[in-house]
Amino acid sequence: MSIALPKAEVRAEQVVPKTQPITTYKKCPKCDGLLETTTGGDVWWCKTCNKYLALFSLNVEKDTTIAGKEYDCYEIIDIGSNTMVSIDLNVDGGPINFYIMTPENFESWKHGRDVSYLMRQEKIEQKSFQWLTEKEGIYCIVFDNTRSNQTKKVSFKIRC
């Protein structure tokens, strides 16, 4: 037996739209802060580290806008050794530079010091490439627009 409630008794806060994203939380492996995602677990944001993180077993598709004289950095964490990483990159608005480096080298790069790149691709607008990790660890993927005054729209896919 079912009972139908009059429509007047249904409150707005009881209705959740099907399109509302679900936010998931977990502990950040770097700082023990709180990671959150609304993408289903591909890309995570750590408020404490103030960084995006991507977790191993990755299939990330993202669009981002990078202002002139700025950069974006994404960290891939817990990636295994000898893992093939495939990257597809499209840039609207002119070329950017793309780097993969360790977190220590990324910190040096931010301060203008010499760094050792694991991958360095300069002045690219569209490119697909693969990169094989040498060891297990954390890697920084950097989209560098610091040499331009123009805002760029970057679309990328990363799979491993």
CATH number of the domain to which 105 belongs: 2.60.120.680
Task: Specify the number of domains making up the chain.
Answer: 1
Sheet holding 70-79: strands in order across? 24-27, 34-37, 43-46, 51-55, 70-79, 137-145, 96-101, 119-124
- Residue 152 CA, chain-centre distance (Å), reads 16
pTM for the model: 0.67
Residue 16 lies in a domain: no
- Give the span between the Cα atoms of 118 and 104, in whole angstroms: 12
Residue 32 lies in a domain: no
**pLDDT, one tens digit for every residue, the chain (160 residues):** 333 333 333 333 344 444 555 677 777 777 878 878 766 666 778 888 887 776 545 677 889 999 999 999 988 766 777 788 889 999 999 999 999 999 999 999 999 999 999 999 999 999 999 988 888 788 899 999 999 999 999 999 988 7
